[in-house]
Structure 1
Amino acid sequence: MPKKKTGARKKAEKQKERQKEMRSVGRPIVEEPCNSLFECHECGNKQKNRAFCYFCNALNKLPMCGHCGKTKCMMKSGDCVIKHGGSYTTGMQMIGAICDFCECFICHGRKCLQTHACICPLTDAVCTECERDVWSHGGRIFKCSFCANFICEDDQFEHQASCQKIEAENLKCMSCNKLGQYSCLRCKICFCDEHVRRKGVKYEKNQAFPCPKCSYVTKETKELSMSTRNYDFGRKGAEGDDDEYYNYQSSSYSNFDSWRGNHGDEDDDEEDSDFDPDEDDEEEESESD
């Protein structure tokens, strides 16, 4: 006869199943119930699904579970921690807890209460631009399609518009100055075919190379619309010849002349306005006497 499973063995198997569920979650973060759209019934502001309104602190009259997304519990037996017989429950009768990470109501189902805190998609959701967490703003959380970092609703479009920019003046490898064939969109660095590989690490065939610095998946530079860092001042911002040798002295004079052209006319106009020809004639007559 097979041996009877002990309590530790059952606990280990449940933990393995839970870890498989955590790895197999491939749903976009926008479609998660804890990140759904919610409109306050008092102030009318649209925001992320949360227990209390971010703007007026009003209690949500029709709460939605942040794990399973239901607004009415129709379970007659079994999974519910609080038994409610043959009656359906809505509102606060359905609530079992509030998540500390996503600030959402969690229903009184046993599975939701036991698993949501472990697999909450907003556990470490801090905006990469403004560094605000879920409790610090009222909008929803998104993920950048290039660097896969969390971004808030306020900085969503601004970040994605400037994400494909390398923190260098050219697209060359930082180690050997060769043309960077691979780019890491998190570190904003280009790597050549040689320095993208680590020594002593085996790579799988037909798989993208991870970044040697942050281990994020790199992409080929030619498949992206990468741009370099530019400045509106210095040798790249001054007007002149595009040759490799640039005369810094001429650029400084040109900048001074442009400044003088903008501000010098105002000084000349002020001097002309103070000039009175009659005063000069009176001074000459007094000297002659």
Structure 2
Amino acid sequence: MPKKKTGARKKAEKQKLRQKNIRTAKENRDIVEQPCNSSMECDKCKRIQKNRAFCYFCQSLQRLPQCAHCGKVKCMLKTGDCVVRHPGVFTTGLGMVGAICDFCEAWICHGRKCLAAHACTCPLIDAVCVECSRGVWEHGGRLFKCSFCNTFLCEDDQFEHQASCQVLESENFKCQSCNRLGQYSCLRCKTCYCEDHVKRKGFKYEKNKPIPCPKCNFDTMSTKDLSMSTRSHKFGRQGTGPGDDDDDDYGGGAGYSGYGYGQSYGADDDDDDDYDPNDEDDSEDDDEEEEESGEEGKEEKKE
């Protein structure tokens, strides 16, 4: 029989498991909780922005810089891994700064671990907004990730994008390769796949794990579990625009202008514009001459 575990052994295993969970949670931390993406208020212009080395608006320096890796604003280590030694002295401000990150545009403290690890593990390395294609250096706001397609979003486009993210590119829920109903949907490609076409030949799928999209390798989800909607088009005469209130011909005949409806006839307008009172006298003389010639013709017939 196996030996019974002692209390110290159980405590050690529990502590080991907890430390493992803490390390895993730190790696999978949300981008909003990262120190390099935290909110910062400028000391001079009082504008709220992303944590950065210099103010985005007035280019002023912060009084208490915050490290983009560990998030501290004051180094209190007496015998730590600081590159700049300060025994018995607590450092703040630029005395704590060691570098500036090229990706997140924020200060890095002079700790050896932060200087060596942050440049490789910065969460904003490829942080470009999917809507406006702006990076960290081009806008002053924070960066977020869409809860559906897991792409980067700036502070200006996050709400509008997430409100319209669950819309398919097609007009129905059918599979892209066949005519059957798509049971799996990719929120990044905005396409549906049936159970036969969502899997690729020669690819090993893990059990009890979401099936990756055959196009972009993003995890697909069941269509019935999502509030997916299809792309819609507005047909008809709405594009021509409404007419005046006085017109009763559905927009002044704008929709039928190509067929001659709703158009003014230029010949009648020209006759009205070129009106001359002398023309009436000429027309009366012509009528009298016609009447005289008609009477003469009648007399000749009688004879």
TM-score where L is the length of structure 2: 0.73
Q: Is residue 157 from structure 1 mapped to residue 159 from structure 2 by the alignment?
A: yes
> Does the Cα contact within 8 Å between 2:254 and 2:262 map onto a contact in 1?
no
Specify the SS of the correspondent of 2:49: strand
Equivalence for 2:43: 41
CA distance in 2, matches of 1:216, 1:116: 26
Q: Tell me if structure 1 keeps the 8 A contact 2:183–2:224.
A: yes
Whole-Å separation in 1 of the counterparts to 2:79 and 2:30: 31
Which residue does the alignment assign to 1:25? 27
1:196-229 CA-partner distances (Å, limit 9, x unpaired): 1112223233221111111110001111111112
Which of 255, 268, 274 lines up with 1:259 in the alignment? Answer: 255
Q: Secondary structure at the match of 1:159?
A: helix
- Give the conservation status (yes or no) of the 8 Å contact 2:37–2:142: yes
1:283 and 1:48 mapped to 2: Cα distance? 84
How far residue 120 of structure 1 moved from its aligned partner, in angstroms, is 0.7
Runs of 4+ residues deviating >4 angstroms: 20-24, 233-238, 254-258, 264-268, 270-277, 279-283
| 2:218 aligned residue | 216
How far apart are the structure 2 equivalents of 1:282 and 1:267?
Answer: 31
CA 1:117–1:206 in 2, change beyond 3 Å: closer, same or farther? same
CA distance in 1, matches of 2:121, 2:169: 34
- Residue number in structure 1 paired with 2:283: 287
SS, match of residue 135 in structure 1: helix
Q: How many Å apart are 1:37 and its aligned residue?
A: 0.7
- Structure 2, unaligned runs of 5 or more: 1-21, 241-249, 286-303
The match for 1:135 is 137
Q: Unpaired segments of 5 or more residues in structure 1?
A: 1-19, 239-253
Distance 2:215 2:272 in 1: 73
Which residue matches 2:85?
83
Matches within 5 A, 1:26-175: 26-175=28-177
CA–CA separation in structure 2 for the residues paired with 1:22 and 1:100: 26
Q: Work out whether residues 78 and 87 of structure 2, in 8 Å CA contact, stay in contact via their aligned partners in 1.
A: yes
- Name the count of aligned residue pairs: 253
Of structures 1 and 2, the larger Rg is shown by 2
Scaled by the length of structure 1, the TM-score of the pair is 0.77
State the one-letter code of the partner of 2:162.
Q
Query: Is residue 234 of structure 2 the alignment partner of residue 232 of structure 1?
Result: yes
- Specify whether residues 275 and 82 from structure 1 end up closer, same or farther in structure 2 by C-alpha distance, changes over 3 A only: farther
Q: How far does residue 187 in structure 1 lie from its aligned partner after superposition?
A: 1.1
The amino acid across from 1:29 in the alignment is I
How many Å separate the matches in 1 of 2:268 and 2:58?
A: 62
What letter corresponds to residue 153 of structure 2 in structure 1? I
